Amino acid sequence: MQSINRNQLFRASCLSLLVTSLSFGIRAGILNKLGTDFQLDKSQLASITATAFYGFPIAVVIGGFIVDIIGMKRLLVLAFIFHLAGILLTIFAQGFWTLYISTLLIGLANGTVEAACNPLVTALYPDNKTTKLNHFHLWFPGGIVIGTLIVLLLNKIGLGWQIQVGIMLLPTVIYGYLFSKLDFPVTERVASGVSTAGMYKALWNPLFIFMFICMFGTAITELFTGQWIDVLLKNVTQNAILILTLDTGVMVIGRAFARPVLKLFSPQVLLLISTILAATGIYLLSTLTGDAVFFAAIIFGMGVCYFWPTMLGFVNTNLPDTGAIGLNLMGGAGMFAVSVYTIFMGRYYDRVVLEAGGSNAQAGQKVLQTTLIIPIVLIVAFGGLVIYMRSKNKTAPLKTVAV
């Protein structure tokens, strides 16, 4: 680790995640405009949006299998190439299929970033995993805030969505340059001497399988709702995109203070509290109107704030032998679930509108009310996890676990 510049690697990792999140924030902000410009219905928009979500799990799972073999640096060079190609193809898109392919490339890039950077962060900070994963993933909502503000500002001054997408080229080129110049450590699993067979065996641990399934729900609750908020609440408030800006702003603040929060609550208790707040937030978003929805957005942001990094940190801390593949299977599971759910909900949205005689006044609220079922189920699941971990810790030898 002597030639490894830990701080520079972490900063470059954050910048690569910033590009990932900018793609989410800007796409969420221009989704309706794309539909108008290219005459796309909500099902087609859902298919394009879902492409990013299933491109992600393809890349993150494949990356998880090969990261120990080819190294994290080569994966991040690949992420740079995918990001560059996807952004340029989006700028020069001509219709549904070019948007579909460009969004797929960006999804593959985003997944490759996670496939490399999650194990990189745990390798750089082995005694502080969950906190540093929260600090790293701070840049996901952070980039969404920046992205949505870019959309609002450039729309205000009359600049097109192509320029808004093009802004992502700058951080892409910078992170590509930084990673090309830096030395990388091996993954934590390789450094600790756990065999490949031992890693695959650890994936069959019932606790890992349970968390893997729960990742479906936490990812859908956070990412589907956030990505589609402008569409779902367009008829509830004239500033629907500001709701996304607000709830992701709450997430940035929450993740920045992950260390003191994790000193107050264990990761499993934090997940339970988060799920209760997320369910409350979605319920309020689906029932309130006007400026009151901004209060709902704050509650929702507090709820989903810690989901993704704490799920990863919990698994890597309690099941370290699962290594990079464990981290990346978790991320892949979450994004795959979001892609499938997004397609299903896009069709459901269009069906509600059709049944209402072409009116979409209540369609967004109905989609949110259907989605509310997921965090309600998670409340039960994480309640059980808290009880299980409490009983497990009572029977385990006392030790200090850094978070």
Per-residue model confidence as pLDDT tens digits over 324-368: 889 889 988 988 898 889 888 888 888 887 777 667 667 778 888
Q: Phi and psi for 125 in degrees, rounded to 5?
A: -130, 65
3-class SS of residue 356: coil
CB 187 within 8 A of CB 305: no
Which of 56-65, 171-180, 266-275, 306-315 is the least confident region? 56-65
% the chain with pLDDT above 70: 92
Q: What pLDDT shows up at residue 362? A: 76
pLDDT band at 208 (very low <50, low <70, confident <90, very high): very high
Listed residue (88, 21, 11, 10) closest to 56, CA to CA = 21
Lowest mean pLDDT of 104-108, 129-133, 160-164, 223-227, name the range. Answer: 223-227
- Please, what are the domains in the chain? 6-391 (1.20.1250.20)
Report the C-alpha gap between 268 and 111 in whole angstroms: 25
The whole-number average pLDDT for the span 185-207 is 84
CA-CA distance, 296 to 280, in Å (whole number)?
8
Secondary structure (DSSP) of 209-235: HHHHHHHHHHHIIIIIHHHTHHHHTTT
Check residues 335 and 79 and name the one with the higher pLDDT. Answer: 79
Average pLDDT, the chain: 86
What percentage of the chain's residues is helix, strand, coil (to nearest 5)?
Answer: 80, 0, 20
Q: Rounded to whole angstroms, how far apart are CA atoms 273 and 143? A: 25
More confident residue, 395 or 286: 286
State percent of the chain over pLDDT 90.
Answer: 41
Nearest to 63 by CA among 22, 120, 137: 120
pLDDT at 358: 66
Give the separation between CA 95 and CA 115, rounded to whole angstroms.
30
Least confident of 57-61, 109-113, 186-190, 206-210: 186-190
Block residue for tokens 């385990």:
396
The pLDDT, as a whole number, for residue 400 is 42
Q: How high is the pLDDT of residue 39?
A: 83
Q: Of 3, 104, 11, which Cα lies nearest the Cα of 53? A: 104
pLDDT above 60 (res 253)? yes
List, as one string, the DSSP characters of 273-333.
HHHHHHHHHHHHHHH--TTHHHHHHHHHHHHHTTHHHHHHHHHHHH-GGGHHHHHHHHHHH
Q: At 1, is the secondary structure helix, strand, or coil?
A: coil
The confidence band for 238, taking pLDDT boundaries of 50, 70 and 90, is low
Nearest to 79 by CA among 15, 16, 155: 16
Query: CA dist 298 to 78, 170, 363, Å?
Result: 36, 31, 22
Average of pLDDT values for 36-61?
Answer: 82
Could you give the CA distance from residue 235 to residue 261 in angstroms, rounded to a whole number? 36
Does the pLDDT value for residue 305 go beyond 70? yes
**Higher local confidence (pLDDT), 184 or 403:** 184
Element holding 343 (H helix, E strand): helix 323-355
For the segment 302-312, the average pLDDT, to the nearest whole number, is 93
Per-residue pLDDT at 53: 72
Q: pLDDT of 113-133, one tens digit each?
A: 999 999 999 889 988 888 899
